[in-house]
A and B are shown apart, each in its own frame.
Chain A
Amino acid sequence: MHIEVRNLNKSFGDFHAVKDVSFDIEKGKLIGLLGPSGGGKTSILRMLAGLETPTSGDIVFHGQRVNDLPPQERGIGFVFQNYALFKHMSVYDNIAFGLKVKKQTKEQIRERVMYLVELTGLKGFEHRYPHQLSGGQRQRVAFARALAPEPQLLLLDEPFAAIDAKIRTELRTWLKEMIERLGITSIFVTHDQDEAIEVADEIMIISKGRLEQKGSPWDIYKNPETPFVASFIGESSIVENLSELRGFEDASNVAGTKALIRPEYIEIGRAGEIKLASASMPAVVKHLHFRGSEWMVELAVGDTKLITYRSLEKEVLHPGEEVNVLVHRAYLFNDQTSWVLENPLKVDPMPIHI
């Protein structure tokens, strides 16, 4: 289903939860709504489902405005954060609910439910009740129940939030595969960036009721359009005093410009380890933290603190040690604008200081 949202607003009393949000979603895409808790993601999802009425704006499914359609007539499937399984019904009856509403024959219902039970790997659990299932199983039931009436759009509200960290990754992959196989347009809400990046075809970043950016995970990572997106996606250190960063001194000409630097933009090495020595600058190792598969290194360049990672294969650094640091690129921003800047010294065709 092709979805269009135009200038959507939602207020709860004095609280403006969703501010002028517009977007388009192509048929068959899997979209992640990502942002901090309380940012209005769930309100957008509930308005798409018809569970909340927009204060203003249009929601268009397939070229038809659906604002005034009740949820029953929108052809959507909704997976709730805590699944909202009917607790007095067995797994079978939960999945069959939407089909019974449609007054399908017993045979049709049985066939569809058994297909979904098989698809979601719940075979053998049909007669259990929700309280007899694990979190992951409940999530699968909720998923199967939402899919049973063959919706055109699947909406998932924090689908993995109530699941143990261990099986969460497993379930993510499973869900992504399942949705790809069925080819159903889907939107899920999450506050976990790893989850959004891993699962979604496209991410929409929502903060304080506004749509900050929409794009593929890679796009958003590479070209964040707002300071919020830049700081929300990935790890980063903020540098206020740009004159201390070698290669970025010119950027400090505009007052108030700050830089946001991700750990993976930073190369660190003992004397001689960095090839482009001309672009590097001295720094002191402040702390080392062992992170299981690598070292996290806290550095001080003058008064500026930077964070980066260092492979376990390389020689171990020690606190207090002097090292060289090369900042490959930085995301720069001030009140007016923002841009990504590659370290100019790195690409200088004729370096003068050899």
Chain B
Amino acid sequence: MTIRRTWIWLTYLVFALLLIAPLVKIVLGAWENGIQGLIDGLTRPEALHALMMTGIIVVVVTIINTGFGIMLALYLVRAQWIGPRMKRLLNSIVDLPFAVSPVIGGLMIVLLLGPQTVIGALFEDAGLKIVYALPGMILATLFVTFPIMVREVMPVLQEIGAQQEEAASTLGAYSWYTFWKVTWPSIRWGVIYGVVLTVARSLGEFGAVLVVSGNIMNKTQTATTLVYQDVENFNVVAANGIALVLAAFSVGLLLLMEWAKKRKEVH
């Protein structure tokens, strides 16, 4: 019994030091200069702009990767037009972004689409700036978050099997109808969980975005890169304000995650 109690106390200690203390600190720290200091930090034009950029990226990335992620998961689990060996290969490629440092992810996009490359110059002539602009930042975040949805949906699809969908097809239903009426209700909670994770990851993405965006204030700065810049400029209190907003979102997402996970287990 005493051994057990020691273990439990140790666990609490690790959590307190590693997770709870930082959370408390961030809430307290943001108030260091009073509520006014916090509001000032947050209502700076660059802060508002940065939060807006982050918002745009999160929304666009989540929508695109949810759609493509579900489709790719469907293909990797069900499609018969991909041979089994090809499937295995694609399946292992899906994970690659998890193994790539975000900075490298950003670098790849700069190298491929930067202003001095062929493709980048082509786009620039057409009036579309990719690197050091929003499209590049979205691309970088898409790259980093791509595996999340696929990895959430694939196991659910594998578990429910193809029989219900086959039954629907023998009853005369075509692809879209089958997907919405039969497949979707089963994978719904997995998708929602994937969406929450994608939002969390794209909200917090830093390295890739920093490299691709050039971190230009009021133009390509996101919430996380602003925190970085504030810290570099020794403006810790202002950084704290933004960090508090981000942390609040994260905790909210964490609660959503828990909820989605429970629903996923029920269904």
Given contacts A86-B182, A97-B181, A72 and B169 within 8 Å (CB-CB): yes
Q: Which residues of B contact A145 (CB under 8 A)?
A: 167, 171
Mask: chain B, 159-180; 1 = CB below 8 Å from A; 0 = not: 0000110111111111001000
Closest to A73 in B: B172
Interface residue tally of chain B, by bracket? 10 to 19
User: Nearest chain B CB to A296's CB is how many angstroms away?
Assistant: 40
Q: Which residues of B contact A84 (CB under 8 A)?
A: 163-164, 166-167
Beta-carbon contact of A102 and B166 below 8 Å: no
Closest to B267 in A: A88
Q: Which residues of B contact A73 (CB under 8 A)?
A: 172
B127 contacts partner chain A, Cβ-Cβ < 8 Å:
no
CB < 8 Å neighbour of A70 from B164, B168, B169: B169
CA distance A80 to B177 in the complex (A): 20
Q: How many residues of A contact B (CB 8 A)?
A: 26
A51 contacts partner chain B, Cβ-Cβ < 8 Å:
yes
User: Nearest chain B CB to A104's CB is how many angstroms away?
Assistant: 11
User: Nearest chain B CB to A248's CB is how many angstroms away?
Assistant: 50
Q: Which residues of B contact A149 (CB under 8 A)?
A: 171-172
Interface residues of B in 176-206 (CB under 8 A from A): 177, 181-182, 185-186
Beta-carbon contact of B172 and A78 below 8 Å: no
Q: Which residues of A contact B182 (CB under 8 A)?
A: 86
User: Nearest chain B CB to A187's CB is how many angstroms away?
Assistant: 13
User: Nearest chain B CB to A131's CB is how many angstroms away?
Assistant: 11
Beta-carbon contact of B167 and A80 below 8 Å: yes
Beta-carbon contact of B186 and A98 below 8 Å: no
Beta-carbon contact of B170 and A88 below 8 Å: no
Beta-carbon contact of B169 and A51 below 8 Å: yes
Q: Which residues of A contact B169 (CB under 8 A)?
A: 50-51, 70-72
Beta-carbon contact of B163 and A80 below 8 Å: yes
Interface residues of A in 59-85 (CB under 8 A from B): 70-74, 76-78, 80, 82, 84-85
Q: Which residues of A contact B167 (CB under 8 A)?
A: 78, 80, 84-86, 145
User: Nearest chain A CB to B160's CB is how many angstroms away?
Assistant: 8
Closest to B165 in A: A84
Beta-carbon contact of A101 and B166 below 8 Å: no
Beta-carbon contact of A101 and B185 below 8 Å: no
Report the tally of A-B residue pairs with Cβ distances under 8 A: 62
Given contacts A86-B182, A88-B185, A88-B186, A98 and B172 within 8 Å (CB-CB): yes
Given contacts A88-B185, A88-B186, A101-B177, A77 and B170 within 8 Å (CB-CB): yes
Closest to A93 in B: B181
Closest to A151 in B: B170
Given contacts A80-B163, A86-B164, A97-B181, A51 and B186 within 8 Å (CB-CB): no
Q: Which residues of B contact A146 (CB under 8 A)?
A: 170-171
Interface residues of A in 20-79 (CB under 8 A from B): 49-51, 70-74, 76-78
Q: Which residues of B contact A102 (CB under 8 A)?
A: 172
CA distance A98 to B171 in the complex (A): 5
CB < 8 Å neighbour of A78 from B166, B173, B185, B267: B166
Beta-carbon contact of B170 and A97 below 8 Å: no
Interface residues of A in 84-101 (CB under 8 A from B): 84-88, 97-98, 101
CA distance A76 to B170 in the complex (A): 7
Q: Which residues of B contact A78 (CB under 8 A)?
A: 166-167, 170
Q: Which residues of A contact B174 (CB under 8 A)?
A: 72
User: Nearest chain B CB to A42's CB is how many angstroms away?
Assistant: 12
Q: Which residues of B contact A86 (CB under 8 A)?
A: 164, 167-168, 181-182
Closest to A81 in B: B163
CA distance A50 to B163 in the complex (A): 13
User: Nearest chain A CB to B55's CB is how many angstroms away?
Assistant: 34
User: Nearest chain B CB to A333's CB is how many angstroms away?
Assistant: 40
CA distance A150 to B167 in the complex (A): 15
CA distance A84 to B178 in the complex (A): 13
Q: Which residues of B contact A80 (CB under 8 A)?
A: 163, 166-167
Beta-carbon contact of B173 and A72 below 8 Å: yes
Mask: chain B, 27-42; 1 = CB below 8 Å from A; 0 = not: 0000000000000000
Closest to B185 in A: A88
Q: Which residues of B contact A77 (CB under 8 A)?
A: 170-171
User: Nearest chain B CB to A31's CB is how many angstroms away?
Assistant: 18
CA distance A107 to B63 in the complex (A): 39
Beta-carbon contact of B170 and A51 below 8 Å: yes
CA distance A101 to B182 in the complex (A): 12
CB < 8 Å neighbour of B172 from A51, A72, A87, A88: A72
Beta-carbon contact of B166 and A51 below 8 Å: yes
Q: Which residues of B contact A87 (CB under 8 A)?
A: 164, 186
Interface residues of A in 133-176 (CB under 8 A from B): 145-146, 148-149
Q: Which residues of B contact A148 (CB under 8 A)?
A: 171
Closest to B169 in A: A71
CA distance A88 to B185 in the complex (A): 7
CA distance A73 to B267 in the complex (A): 32
User: Nearest chain B CB to A301's CB is how many angstroms away?
Assistant: 51
Shortest 8 CB-CB contacts between residues of A and residues of B: A98-B171, A84-B163, A78-B170, A84-B167, A88-B185, A101-B172, A71-B169, A101-B173
Q: Which residues of B contact A (CB under 8 A)?
A: 163-164, 166-174, 177, 181-182, 185-186, 267
Instruction: Supply 14 A–B pairs (Cβ within 8 Å), ascending by A.
Output: A49-B170, A50-B170, A51-B166, A72-B174, A77-B170, A80-B166, A85-B164, A86-B167, A87-B164, A87-B186, A98-B172, A145-B167, A145-B171, A146-B170
